[in-house]
Structure 1
Amino acid sequence: MMESATSKGRRWLLACAVFLLLAFSGLAYRLVDLQVYRHDQLRDTARGNTTRTVIVHPRRGDIFDANGNKLATSRFVKTICADPVMLGSHYPAVARALAPLLGLEEKELEAKLKPRLIRTPSGQVKTNRYVRLKRKVLPEVFEQITRTMAEFSIDDPSVALDRKKQRFVRDMRRRAVFADRAEDQLRLYPAGTLGAHVLGFVGGDDHRGKEGLEAVLDSKLTGARGWRVIETDSRKREQVERRVQDVPARNGLNAFLTLDAGVQNIVESELKLAMEKHLAAGVTAIVVRPRTGDVLAMANLPTFDPRYPGDVEAAARRNRAVTDTFEPGSTFKAVTVAGALNEGLVTLESRFHCSDGRFLYAGKILRDHHPYGLLSVEKIITKSSNIGSAKVGMRLGAPRLYQYIRDFGFGSRLGIQLPGEVGGIVHPLEKWTKLSISRVPMGHEVAGTPLQIVMMMSAIANEGRLMKPRITDRLEDEQGRLVLKYPAKSIRQVVSPAVAREVTKALKTVVALGGTARRAELDYYTVAGKTGTAQKAGRGGYIPGKYYASFVGFLPADRPELCILVAVDEPQGDYYGGLVAAPVFKKIAERTASYLGIPPDKKPEESAAGDRH
Structure 2
Amino acid sequence: MLSQSFIRRAAFLSSLLFFLLGGVVFRLFYLQILNHHLYREEVLRRFTLDELLALRGEIFDRNGEVLAKDVEVLTVYACPRAVPDPSQAAARLAPLLAEDEERLRERLSAHASFVVLRAGVPSSVGNALREARVDGVYWVRETRRFYPKAPLLSAVLGFVGKDRKGLEGLEYVFDNLLRGKDGYVTFERDALGQEIPTTVTLHPPEKGKNLHLTIDAIIQFFVEEALDRAMERTKAKRGVIIVNDPKTGDILALASRPSFDNRRFQEFPPEAWRNHAVNMVIEPGSTVKPLVLAAALEEKVVTLGDTFYCSGATRVHNHRIRCIKAHGQEKLEDVLINSCNVGIISVAQRLGKEKLYRYLRGFGLGERTGVPLPGEEEGLLRQPEKWSLLSIGAIPIGQEMMVTPLQLLVALSSIANGGMLMRPRLVQRVTDALGNTLEAFPPSPVRRVVSEKTARLVLSMMEKVVTEGTGKKAQVVGYRIAGKTGTGQKAGQGGRYVPGAYYSSFAGFFPLPDPRFGVLVVLDEPQGEYYGGDIAAPVFQEVAERILR
TM-score by length of 2: 0.87
Query: Which amino acid letter does the alignment assign opposite residue 71 of structure 2?
Result: R
Q: Which residue of 1 aligns with 2:408?
A: 453
Q: Which residue, 193, 199, 202 being the options, matches 1:246?
A: 202
Q: Which residue of 2 aligns with 1:532?
A: 486
Alpha carbons of structure 1 residues 41 and 199: separation in structure 2 relative to 1, 3 Å: closer
C-alpha RMSD of the superposition:
3.0
Alpha carbons of structure 1 residues 98 and 373: separation in structure 2 relative to 1, 3 Å: same
Q: Which residue, 378, 388, 396 being the options, matches 1:433?
A: 388
Q: Which residue of 1 aligns with 2:535?
A: 580
Q: Which residue of 2 aligns with 1:326?
A: 282
Alignment check: 8 A CA contact 2:78 2:108 kept: no
Alignment check: 8 A CA contact 2:87 2:105 kept: no
* Alpha-carbon offset, residue 103 of structure 1: 5.0
Quick one: distance in 1 between partners of 2:202 and 2:540? 56
SS in 2 for 1:446: coil
Q: Which residue, 62, 66, 85 being the options, matches 2:58?
A: 62
Alpha carbons of structure 1 residues 57 and 235: separation in structure 2 relative to 1, 3 Å: farther
Alpha carbons of structure 1 residues 234 and 83: separation in structure 2 relative to 1, 3 Å: farther
* Alpha-carbon offset, residue 231 of structure 1: 3.6
* Alpha-carbon offset, residue 396 of structure 1: 0.8
* Alpha-carbon offset, residue 110 of structure 1: 5.0
Query: Which amino acid letter does the alignment assign opposite residue 286 of structure 1?
Result: I
Q: Which residue, 175, 179, 197 being the options, matches 1:218?
A: 175
> Is 2:500 the counterpart of 1:545?
yes
Q: Which residue of 2 aligns with 1:261?
A: 217
Quick one: distance in 2 between partners of 1:475 and 1:553? 31
1:163-312 equivalences in 2 (<5 Å):
177=138, 179=140, 184-204=142-162, 206-232=163-189, 238=195, 241-312=197-268
* Alpha-carbon offset, residue 43 of structure 1: 9.6
Alignment check: 8 A CA contact 2:74 2:139 kept: no
TM-score by length of 1: 0.78
SS in 1 for 2:124: helix
Q: Which residue of 2 aligns with 1:344?
A: 300
Quick one: distance in 2 between partners of 1:98 and 1:492? 66
SS in 1 for 2:151: coil
* Alpha-carbon offset, residue 97 of structure 1: 6.8
Q: Which residue of 1 aligns with 2:112?
A: 114
Alpha carbons of structure 1 residues 60 and 91: separation in structure 2 relative to 1, 3 Å: farther
Alpha carbons of structure 1 residues 91 and 486: separation in structure 2 relative to 1, 3 Å: farther
Query: Which amino acid letter does the alignment assign opposite residue 196 of structure 1?
Result: S
> Is 2:123 the counterpart of 1:139?
yes
Alpha carbons of structure 1 residues 433 and 99: separation in structure 2 relative to 1, 3 Å: farther
* Alpha-carbon offset, residue 440 of structure 1: 0.4
Alpha carbons of structure 1 residues 199 and 89: separation in structure 2 relative to 1, 3 Å: closer
Alpha carbons of structure 1 residues 382 and 588: separation in structure 2 relative to 1, 3 Å: same
Q: Which residue of 2 aligns with 1:160?
A: none
Alignment check: 8 A CA contact 1:91 1:113 kept: no
Q: Which residue, 432, 447, 452 being the options, matches 1:477?
A: 432
Q: Which residue, 513, 517, 521 being the options, matches 1:562?
A: 517
Which stretch shifts more, 227-236 or 385-394?
227-236
Quick one: distance in 1 between partners of 2:201 and 2:431? 28
* Alpha-carbon offset, residue 330 of structure 1: 0.4
Query: Which amino acid letter does the alignment assign opposite residue 193 of structure 1?
Result: P
Q: Which residue, 516, 527, 549 being the options, matches 2:470?
A: 516
Rg larger in structure:
1
Task: Report Cα offsets for 1:113-167 as digits up to 9, x if no partner.
Answer: 624xxxxxxxxxxxxxx7777654443345544554x443xxxxxxxxxxxxxxx
* Alpha-carbon offset, residue 430 of structure 1: 2.6
> Is 2:68 the counterpart of 1:72?
yes
Task: Report Cα offsets for 1:449-497 as digits up to 9, x if no partner.
Answer: 1101111111111111000000111111111111111111111111111
Q: Which residue, 416, 419, 436 being the options, matches 1:464?
A: 419
Identity %, equivalent residues: 39
Quick one: distance in 2 between partners of 1:97 and 1:66? 45
Alignment check: 8 A CA contact 1:283 1:568 kept: yes
Structure 1 gaps, min length 5 = 1-28, 116-129, 153-172, 595-613
* Alpha-carbon offset, residue 335 of structure 1: 1.4
Structure 2 gaps, min length 5 = 1-22
Quick one: distance in 1 between partners of 2:313 and 2:200? 86
Quick one: distance in 1 between partners of 2:190 and 2:128? 29
Quick one: distance in 1 between partners of 2:203 and 2:401? 56
Q: Which residue of 2 aligns with 1:505?
A: 460
Query: Which amino acid letter does the alignment assign opposite residue 530 of structure 1?
Result: K
> Is 2:45 the counterpart of 1:49?
yes
1:287-436 equivalences in 2 (<5 Å):
287-354=243-310, 356-436=311-391
Task: Report Cα offsets for 1:535-566 as digits up to 9, x if no partner.
Answer: 21112311112221111011123211111111
Alpha carbons of structure 1 residues 272 and 102: separation in structure 2 relative to 1, 3 Å: closer
SS in 1 for 2:48: strand
Alpha carbons of structure 1 residues 76 and 235: separation in structure 2 relative to 1, 3 Å: farther
Alignment check: 8 A CA contact 1:102 1:134 kept: no
Quick one: distance in 2 between partners of 1:223 and 1:113? 42
Alpha carbons of structure 1 residues 402 and 459: separation in structure 2 relative to 1, 3 Å: same
Alignment check: 8 A CA contact 1:550 1:568 kept: yes
Alignment check: 8 A CA contact 2:79 2:112 kept: no
Task: Report Cα offsets for 1:206-231 as digits up to 9, x if no partner.
Answer: 11111111111111111011111124
Quick one: distance in 2 between partners of 1:275 and 1:568? 8
Q: Which residue of 1 aligns with 2:10?
A: none
Alignment check: 8 A CA contact 1:81 1:177 kept: yes
* Alpha-carbon offset, residue 188 of structure 1: 1.0
Alpha carbons of structure 1 residues 107 and 89: separation in structure 2 relative to 1, 3 Å: closer
Query: Which amino acid letter does the alignment assign opposite residue 531 of structure 1?
Result: T
Aligned length: 516
Alignment check: 8 A CA contact 1:551 1:577 kept: yes
SS in 2 for 1:474: strand
* Alpha-carbon offset, residue 236 of structure 1: 5.6
Task: Report Cα offsets for 1:381-424 as digits up to 9, x if no partner.
Answer: 01000111111111111111111111111111000011111111
Alpha carbons of structure 1 residues 42 and 332: separation in structure 2 relative to 1, 3 Å: closer
Query: Which amino acid letter does the alignment assign opposite residue 114 of structure 1?
Result: A
Which stretch shifts more, 222-231 or 308-317?
308-317
